Amino acid sequence: MIKIAPSILAADPLNLERDVKRAAEAGCDWIHVDVMDAHFVPNLAYTPDAVRRLRETFSVPLDVHLMMDCPETLLDAFLDAGASNVTVHAETGDVSRLIQRIHHRGASAGVALKPGTPAEAVKPYLETADLILAMTVEPGFGGQVMDERVIHKIRELREAGYRGEIEADGGIREDNIRVLAENGLTVAVMGTALFRNENMKAAIMRLHRI
């Protein structure tokens, strides 16, 4: 069964508690929290305090995606806040010490790749990363169209022997998720396709049957 992680970047910022409650009651597996620093990506989003409030209010695992040039500056703040999984981008440099730090703090660690970054870039982390996040859009905004080139990259990671979670993020919908699953995807981040859906519960039930 594919894990479904609604991305709260697509939630209503004025009704975040309502929208996360809806996703949790709809049976999502994780909540995906995008963190943006206006440098690594041209946008700003979510703080350690927001993660703390989500942690205090909901029991669903929090999947924190750090789109930051210097993730080490706030890594401990997000771990203190209660992140269940923290993902850093391979494009920011050698992230092996960050993976160690995340594990030392008792959380799971992910390494992300932009669409244009080859699978090669995460090969040094295949033994230590619990999750590889293959971005299916250029990071920074929701509502974009999925980049089909990434399907091949997901298959390449499985053929390289990676047995951890493979997550995809960006432009995923019910009509394009199956090919990702057939090539090795285990976690789907979905923003627009879920938060704009009248019946999120039925959608997640269908997705869990894939």
With CB cut-offs between 5 and 8 Å by kind, which of ligand DX5, Zn ion, none does residue 10 bind?
ligand DX5
Q: Angle formed by the axes of helices 16-25 and 48-57, to 10°?
A: 50
E strands, the chain, are 3-6, 31-37, 44-45, 62-67, 85-89, 108-113, 131-135, 165-169, 187-190
Q: Which is nearer to ligand DX5, 9 or 180 (CB)?
A: 9
Extract the tokens encoding 12: 């209503």
Minimum separation from the CB atom of position 72 to ligand DX5 (A): 20
CA-CA distances (angstroms) from residue 88 to 29, 133, 139, 164, 203?
20, 9, 12, 16, 29
Is 80 tagged catalytic? no
Under rule CB under 6 A, which residues in 57-86 are in contact with ligand DX5? Answer: 65
Cα angle, residue 93 at apex, residues 97 and 65 outer, rounded to 5°: 75
The residue annotated as part of the active site, out of 19, 34, 63, 147, is 34
Total residues found in the chain within this entry:
210
Using CB under 6 A as the binding rule, whether residue 169 contacts ligand DX5 is answered as yes
Minimum separation from the CB atom of position 133 to Zn ion (A): 7
Other Cβ atoms within 10 Å of 106 Cβ, number: 8
Minimum separation from the CB atom of position 141 to Zn ion (A): 10
Q: Which is nearer to Zn ion, 38 or 205 (CB)?
A: 38
CA distance 157 to 179: 15
Binding mask of the shown chain, residues 134 to 163, with x at each position contacting ligand DX5 by CB under 6 A:
---x-xxxxxx-------------------
Question: Binding residues for Zn ion, per CB under 5 A?
Answer: 34, 65, 169
Binding site for ligand DX5 (CB under 6 A): 7, 9-10, 32, 34, 65, 137, 139-144, 169-172, 189-193
Task: Name the residues annotated as catalytic.
Answer: 34, 169
